[in-house]
Amino acid sequence: MARRAAVSGIMFALAACSQASAAWVGDRYFPSTLATTVPTPADFLNPPNLVVLPRTGTTPSIREIDIPTTFSKLITPDWALTFTETYRILEQANAPTRRGFDNFVLGTQYELYANAPHQFVFTLGATAAFGGTGSSQVANSFSTFTPTIQMGKGFGDLPDSVAWLRPINITSNVGVALPSQTANPNILLWSFALEYSLLTTMYSGGDHKGSRFSEGWVPLVEFALTTPLEGPAAGRTTGTINPGVIWVSRYLQVAVEAIIPINGLTGHGIGARAQAHLYFSEIFPDTLGRPIFGK
């Protein structure tokens, strides 16, 4: 039971505080996603947003509500650090509601390779959730280190014969959550997002002058999955399907998604998440929105 609780706790903690950024790769704009991480380091702030997860467990089941806040800062144009703090509420019938801050999460992203003509990007990332920094009511006592690889591909380079596929974006993440306590299993985290970009490229100076930005809608569906690599639950995949829509403008984007469990081990019922994402590169281009080193 302890191992199963740890698996669930790690999975939902990582899903709730997923660092997401937004940036151009050639002529393709990758907006911030909600359940997965976009492989484009950037300066941004996700102010407190809402995640209501499906119920977990049997009788009595538990409802988890997360309110994460994430700040990302570019150190160089290709390297960012992210800082995430999540306020968590756990509701259970016939029991007191538990609430408090989850463990502090420090993340990093380094864009290792980008191919602008083919709208492809490859990024290395990692997160560290520091055990004991959160409330004992809601947070794990152990730390978790999660190295990841992240990729993104836009299909604007397809030929005219399949022009209807050009608006598609695909991003994917693969990582392994490594708990500091050996009693808890290592967990494979794998996720991907399918987007259909209806964005229009705009220019701040008009007539293709000045800086460019995107505007419009992006329907998407995200798949966030976990598979324990050892222990009693080894090989038993859990996760969620997350259909939603993103509205992108020059200074911010807003998005909503449903959270649908893929099986009974994941949870019961349907959850939801809503996010606002502020583009510091546009809001504060000369201060918080520029890399500390380099241009």
Kindly state whether residue 210 falls inside one of the protein's structural domains: yes
The beta strand positions in the chain, using DSSP E, are 23-25, 28-30, 44-46, 50-52, 62-76, 79-92, 98-101, 105-115, 120-129, 144-154, 168-179, 187-196, 200-203, 212-228, 238-248, 252-261, 271-279
**288 in any annotated domain:** no
Is 290 part of any domain?
no
C-alpha–C-alpha distance, residues 16 and 257, integer Å:
13
Q: In this structure, what CATH number is given to the domain that contains residue 35?
A: 2.40.160.40
> What's the pLDDT tens digit per position in 39-53?
999 999 999 999 999
Q: Can you give the residue range of the structural domain that contains 209? A: 2-283
Tell whether 123 is covered by a domain.
Answer: yes
CA-CA distance, 110 to 76, in Å (whole number)? 9
Q: Look at the chain and report how many structural domains it folds into.
A: 1
Secondary structure class of 285 (helix, strand, coil): coil
pLDDT of residue 206: 65
Residue 250 domain flag: yes
Whether 212 is in a domain gets the answer yes
- Does residue 225 belong to any structural domain of this protein? yes
Q: Are strands 200-203 and 187-196 parallel, antiparallel or unpaired?
A: unpaired
| Cα 13 to Cα 129: distance, rounded to the nearest angstrom | 9
Residue 153 in domain: yes
Listed as ranges, residues in the chain with pLDDT below 50 are 1-8, 13, 16-17, 20
pLDDT for the residue 51: 97
Provide the token pair at 184: 């808890």
Q: Looking at residue 204, what is its pLDDT?
A: 82
